[in-house]
């Protein structure tokens, strides 16, 4: 399935995408509304030809009609925010219920806590982990597998970013500086003794947040910082996404992909990079693979292969659910990270003050990359180690997972079997101030000494 474009940097539009003006979003909404009658008819037709009392439902023609109706409905609908669907986990061999609670909230984000209802004390310490999810088009539920993998051995919190079209203009703006402020405030609310993990895009604001906290000798600075497939220095092994941003320049994006939210959404008249345009960019990156996936869905529906159909539905229910990003956040991120390379050049600022990763000294650092990552190229995340020069070598680790792409860095079988145990060991080591781990590749800087 086409998973390479999941969860990376803020998505860029495909080559040749048309310029957007304010009416474009309104036209999109009108098109969605105009398709409602057709979707209603296809739904009714599908029900008719799936009814076992209808003789045609048992024929190749009837099954093909029902399959075609489902394809039409699925490819024309707007997908809402997916549910987490995490109701329990296994802790120390005991099946334990999980209650998802909101423990902090601001207009553009909620902090969720996966509260495990333990029935007996655990034998070993359970580190507290804040997972900072990408704000790059998909919802935080993209990291459902990431959360599930850490729940048995960690107290897990995650950022749940809000769709910008759902935030009224009266709630103010949200840019990259606000993102950094949110991360710092969440760490304060959690009260210390925390480990932070940034998955893909948030690597830059998390490094900035921790740098600022260290510069101010903040007592709530995290014990460790794990960065996974993040675009810290996109000059290293640049990918197609990186090159597109550098070639276009920030003015092109401002003029071509920014529009206003239409009525009746709560965020009406807010400038955004809309989800439907992001989705166009996602799909065009691997258009042939998406076409093949939907052709196979049609065949599997006709054959009645329920397992493959369910896998397709689960994947695309998540993949096609996208959210709008505020224009100021999107443009500032593209400019800072992909055009100016401000962080690795030492030129990034926050509220007018310089962001200096060399001030980070109390926080252990781990970076994780995928060998075949086509979103954040190999070496882009490892560059963090050179920037965080004050972290002792025995408290820094770099790991490259063989045979996985961008998505495999934070989800999938190899993530669960090979990456998660290494991160868990690193977190425990950081909490206990122990030396670097065995069987984990050291940084190039450490190996050279």
Average pLDDT of the chain to the nearest whole number: 87
Please count the structural domains in the chain: 1
Lowest mean pLDDT among 6-15, 32-41, 91-100: 6-15
Amino acid 82: pLDDT: 92
Amino acid 433: pLDDT: 63
**Residue 186 reports pLDDT greater than 90:** yes
Q: Which domain holds residue 304?
A: 1-34+80-449
70 within domain boundaries? no
pTM of this prediction? 0.87
43 within domain boundaries? no
- 371-398 pLDDT, tens digit per residue, is 998 888 899 999 999 999 999 999 999 9
**Strands across the sheet with 128-132, in order?**
88-91, 94-106, 109-116, 155-161, 128-132, 194-199, 224-228, 364-370, 396-401
The kind and range of the H/E element at 260 are strand 259-260
Residue 265: CATH number of its domain: 3.40.50.1820
Strand partners, 211: none
CA–CA separation, 64 vs 438, rounded Å?
Answer: 56
Amino acid 247: pLDDT: 77
39 within domain boundaries? no
52 within domain boundaries? no
Contact 112, 102 (CB under 8 A): yes
Instruction: Label each residue of 351-374 as H, E or C.
Output: CCEECCHHHCCCCEEEEEEECCCC
55 within domain boundaries? no
Lowest mean pLDDT among 12-21, 243-252, 255-264: 12-21
Nearest to 394 by CA among 322, 345, 445: 445
Cis ω before 264 (30° cut-off from 0): yes
68 within domain boundaries? no
- CB-count exposure of residue 220 (10 Å: 0-12, 13-18, 19+): middle
Confidence of residue 226 (pLDDT cuts 50, 70, 90): very high
* DSSP string for 22-86: HHHHHHHHHHHHHTHHHHHHHHHHHHHHH-TTSGGGGSHHHHHHHHHHHHHHHHHSPP-PPP---
**Residue 8 reports pLDDT greater than 60:** no
Amino acid 442: pLDDT: 40
Amino acid 20: pLDDT: 45
280 within domain boundaries? yes
CA–CA separation, 203 vs 229, rounded Å?
Answer: 8
**Residue 284 reports pLDDT greater than 80:** no
Amino acid 2: pLDDT: 34
- 339-378 pLDDT, tens digit per residue, is 999 999 999 999 999 999 999 999 999 999 999 988 888 9
Q: Cβ atoms within 10 A of the Cβ of 83, count?
A: 10
Amino acid 13: pLDDT: 47
44 within domain boundaries? no
Dihedrals phi, psi of 246, to nearest 5 degrees? -65, -35
């Amino acid at each position: 399935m086409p998973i390479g474009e999941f969860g990376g940097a803020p998505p860029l539009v495909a080559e040749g995408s048309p310029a957007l003006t304010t009416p474009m979003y309104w036209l999109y909404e009108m098109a969605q509304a105009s398709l409602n009658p057709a979707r209603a008819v296809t739904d009714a037709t599908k029900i008719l030809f799936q009814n076992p009392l209808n003789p045609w439902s048992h024929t190749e023609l009837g099954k093909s009609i029902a399959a075609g109706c489902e394809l039409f409905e699925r490819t024309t609908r707007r997908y809402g925010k997916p549910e987490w669907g995490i109701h329990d986990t296994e802790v120390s061999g005991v099946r334990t219920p999980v209650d998802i609670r909101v423990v902090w909230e601001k207009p553009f984000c909620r902090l969720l806590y996966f509260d495990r209802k333990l029935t007996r004390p655990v034998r070993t310490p359970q580190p507290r982990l804040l997972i900072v999810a990408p704000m790059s088009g998909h919802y935080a539920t993209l990291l459902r597998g990431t959360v599930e993998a850490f729940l048995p051995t960690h107290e897990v919190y995650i950022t749940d970013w809000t769709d910008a079209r759902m935030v009224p203009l009266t709630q103010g703006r949200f840019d990259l500086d606000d993102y950094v402020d949110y991360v710092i405030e969440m760490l304060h609310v959690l009260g210390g003794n925390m480990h932070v993990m940034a998955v893909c895009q948030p690597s830059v604001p998390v490094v900035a947040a921790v740098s600022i906290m260290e510069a101010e000798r903040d007592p709530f600075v995290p014990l460790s910082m794990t960065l996974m497939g993040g675009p810290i220095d996109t000059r290293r092994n640049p990918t197609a996404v990186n090159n597109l941003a550098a070639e276009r320049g920030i003015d092109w994006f401002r003029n071509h992909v920014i529009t206003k939210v239409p009525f009746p959404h709560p965020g009406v008249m807010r400038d955004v990079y809309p989800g439907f345009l992001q989705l166009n960019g996602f799909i065009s990156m691997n258009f042939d693979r998406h076409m093949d996936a939907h052709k196979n869905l049609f065949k599997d529906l006709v054959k009645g292969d329920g397992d493959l159909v369910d896998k397709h539905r689960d994947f695309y229910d998540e993949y096609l659910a996208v959210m709008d990003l505020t224009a100021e956040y999107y443009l500032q991120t593209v400019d800072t990270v992909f055009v100016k390379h401000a962080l690795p050049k030492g030129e990034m600022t926050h509220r007018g003050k310089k962001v200096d990763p060399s001030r980070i000294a109390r926080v252990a650092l781990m970076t994780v990359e995928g060998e075949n990552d086509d979103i954040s190229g190999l070496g882009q995340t490892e560059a963090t180690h050179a920037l965080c020069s004050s972290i002792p070598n025995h408290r820094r680790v770099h790991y490259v997972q063989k045979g996985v792409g961008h998505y495999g860095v934070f989800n999938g079988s190899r993530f669960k079997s090979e990456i998660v145990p290494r991160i868990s060991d690193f977190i425990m080591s950081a909490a206990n101030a122990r030396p670097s781990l065995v069987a984990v590749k050291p940084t190039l800087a450490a190996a050279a000494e």
